[in-house]
Chains A and B, each alone.
Chain A
Amino acid sequence: MESGKARLRLLIGKVGLDGHDRGAKIIARALRDAGHEVIYTGLHKTPEQIVETAIQEDVDGIGLSILSGAHMTLFHKVIRLLAERGAEDVVVFGGGIIPDDDLGELRDAGVAELFLPGTTTADVIRWVEEHVRPRAIPG
């Protein structure tokens, strides 16, 4: 890892009934190889489980991979649960098959960035390192 670059704690998660984990695993591995600590949740997690893990592990950012079409429901829920737990400063980003029409609403809801087909792993690493900062953990 380059000196001066912050080592981030990141959670890469799969939510809902979507079994397509190829992308999530590639991103998790690419971020880990870039020097960050990555917790990959495995498949079929509920928004509650994602938020619980994020808080337990004191992560700085959450990346959700959703290819099931349920992105509108699941992103909103994760963001709402984070706010309820006072962890709204955890940066939420995501990727998957998300129609253009839905992008605006998800960004308005607080999804910091959405990576669509054609994104390279280098694009994701660059964005994460520019936009996710280590959080000051109280206590």
Chain B
Amino acid sequence: MMLRFHTQTAGCSLQAQQPLVNIVRVTIQALAGVLGGTQSLHTDSFDETLCLPTEEAVRVALRTQQVIAEESGVAHTIDPLGGSYFVEQLTDKMEREALAYIDRIEQMGGIIAAIEAGFPQKEIADAAFHYQQQIDSGEKTLVGVNKYQIPPEEDHQLQILKISSEVEQRQLARLRDVKARRDESAVRAALDRIEQCCRSDENTFPAILEAVRHYATVGEICATMKTVFGVYEEATVL
């Protein structure tokens, strides 16, 4: 059996303190993905906890993949961990536990019923709270966060990418320009067509494509759909 899959390193594992250590975290996670046989890989940038990535941080993330692919040698073997009893039993354990969740959700009447009952939200909130308690108590180690800390004034000062408000003004100007030049009646007709599809069982996608071809904006398309479907209000689960 072949399973094609994409891997992204875990943004939630990145830390604001001693941010260069994130490069090490990303490397270990990316290597794990490659050892697991991933076909596609996204490495997070080390500054992602603090801002949108700078050019430098993005380059380091790319170089991390290139070191694994072209220097480390792990990619020379199809399945370097094949036959490891430990890794195999971890895979089995994860499979068992995932299937147990799937069974439980089926018994609740499927995922929509489960979400309406707040089940997955509660599981995530519980796990997050438990994890934070383990960090607070030191039961779980986060290097540079609850162990091996340094005073903030000694910490690495990252170059933070700042987006100037000029970007917003420029985009607004482009939007005004597009709206001034498009065929307004064609846009109106296309949006009405979307609304019609939303009110029936028809596939909305051809209508959306038609609207985009006439330069309807994402905002206008969403607003049209909202008139029919409303907006999802999450049931807050703590």
Residues of A within 8 A of B (CB): 22, 25-26, 28-30, 32, 38, 40-43, 69, 97, 99, 116-118, 120-122
Contact = CB atoms under 8 A, between A and B. Distances in A.
B147 to A, nearest CB: 12
A21 B15 CA distance: 17
A21 to B, nearest CB: 9
A42 B16 CA distance: 25
Nearest to B130: A26
Given A28-B238, A40-B238, 20 more contacts: A25-B129, A29-B125, A29-B129, A32-B238, A38-B238, A40-B236, A42-B233, A42-B234, A69-B52, A69-B163, A97-B16, A97-B50, A117-B15, A117-B17, A118-B16, A118-B17, A118-B145, A120-B136, A121-B132, A121-B133
B49 A117 contact: yes
A42 B237 CA distance: 9
B173 to A, nearest CB: 20
Contacts of A118: 16-17, 145, 149
Contacts of B160: 99
A37 to B, nearest CB: 12
A30 B16 CA distance: 22
Contacts of A121: 132-133, 136
Interface string B192-234: 0000000000000000000000000000000000000000011
B154 to A, nearest CB: 14
A22 B128 contact: yes
Interface string B149-193: 100000000001001000000000000000000000000000000
B238 A29 contact: yes
Contacts of A38: 238
B142 to A, nearest CB: 9
Contacts of A97: 16, 49-51
Contacts of B136: 120-122
15 contacts: A25-B128, A26-B129, A26-B132, A30-B129, A41-B236, A42-B234, A42-B236, A69-B51, A69-B52, A69-B163, A97-B49, A97-B51, A116-B16, A118-B17, A121-B136
A89 B11 CA distance: 37
Q: Which of B15, B145, B149, B238 has the most CB of A within 10 A?
A: B238
B123 to A, nearest CB: 12
A116 B135 CA distance: 15
Contacts of B49: 97, 117
A86 B148 CA distance: 46
A118 to B, nearest CB: 6
A26 B238 CA distance: 8
Contacts of A43: 234
Nearest to A120: B136
